[in-house]
Amino acid sequence: MASKLIAPSVLAADFANLQRDVEMINNSDADWFHIDIMDGVFVPNISFGMPVLRDIVKHATKTIDVHLMIIDPDRYIKTFADLGSNILTVHYEACTHLHRTLQAIKAEGMQAGVAINPHTNVSLLEDTINDIDLVCIMSVNPGFGGQSFIENTYKKVKQLKEIIDRNNAKTMIEIDGGVTDKNAKALIEAGADVLVAGSYVFKSENPTATIKGLKEIIA
Ligand code: DX5
Ligand code: ZN
């Protein structure tokens, strides 16, 4: 089985010490950088935008996994490719022509991800699953770090895994929101491949050790 991945969410970093926190991730057992971009319209919060991502990418040495919580994401696909995103995830709920959006992301040389809100049924991805490199199952309502994990997520992971296997797809399953040492193992057992962790990592006393601990739990 392919190894399971941890993607610390930079949203929970100390933005006044961003280079320090980026280096911490570089030197840790983490696999990816998870970057949350919010527009204050699709979600009721604004995070940070292109100039900040550009400076993160300058220092980051691992995969850049960008999660767009914005309406009409097609407008910015090329911009995020040029900034150095490796994976670009758009929200199912924000795309009128999801299939076209996925092709546009891949045409820019990135892997294409689709995020689904807690209310969105995984069966809606049945007809695009072979075009999706990564499905991000939101295990909180998007917009803020530090919320508590929605237990219904386990069911969704199992249902999505079944759709992926039945279609012989290579799609990875990412879980985003409220991930801790308490749910990490069960999420992997349900079929998840990548766990995003924001506050659990950055609010801990020793983020490097916390990432190491998560990796051990899911190994
Ligand atoms: C929420 C973001 C998440 C967030 C996760 O809208 O998409 O990536 O940073 O943070 P925690 O792990 O604190 O729930
Ligand atoms: Zn996210």
Q: Which domain holds residue 210?
A: 5-218
32, 177, 172, 18 alpha-carbon torsion, rounded to 10°: -10
pLDDT in tens, 10-48: 999 999 999 999 999 999 999 999 999 999 999 999 999
What string of H, E and C letters represents the secondary structure of 164-209?
Answer: HHHCCCCCEEEEECCCCCCCHHHHHHHCCCEEEECHHHHCCCCHHH
What string of H, E and C letters represents the secondary structure of the chain?
Answer: CCCCEEEEEHHHCCHHHHHHHHHHHHCCCCCEEEEEEEECCCCCCECCCHHHHHHHHHHCCCEEEEEEECCCHHHHHHHHHHHCCCEEEEEHHHCCCHHHHHHHHHHCCCEEEEEECCCCCHHHHCCCHHHCCEEEEECCCCCCCCCCCCCCHHHHHHHHHHHHHHCCCCCEEEEECCCCCCCHHHHHHHCCCEEEECHHHHCCCCHHHHHHHHHHHHC
pLDDT in tens, 83-118: 999 999 999 999 999 999 999 999 999 999 999 999
Q: Catalytic one among 31, 36, 39, 131?
A: 36
pLDDT in tens, 132-178: 999 999 999 999 999 999 999 999 999 999 999 999 999 999 999 99
pLDDT in the model for residue 194 = 98
Q: What is the CATH number of the domain that holds 178?
A: 3.20.20.70
Query: Does 29 qualify as catalytic in the annotation?
Result: no
pLDDT in the model for residue 52 = 98
Q: How many domains does the chain have?
A: 1
* Ligand 2 geometric centre to CA of 29 (Å): 19
* Ligand 2 geometric centre to CA of 8 (Å): 10
Of 34, 48, 140, 175, the one to substitute when testing ligand 1's pocket (max ligand atoms within 8 A of C-beta) is 140
Of 176, 202, 211, the one to substitute when testing ligand 1's pocket (max ligand atoms within 8 A of C-beta) is 176
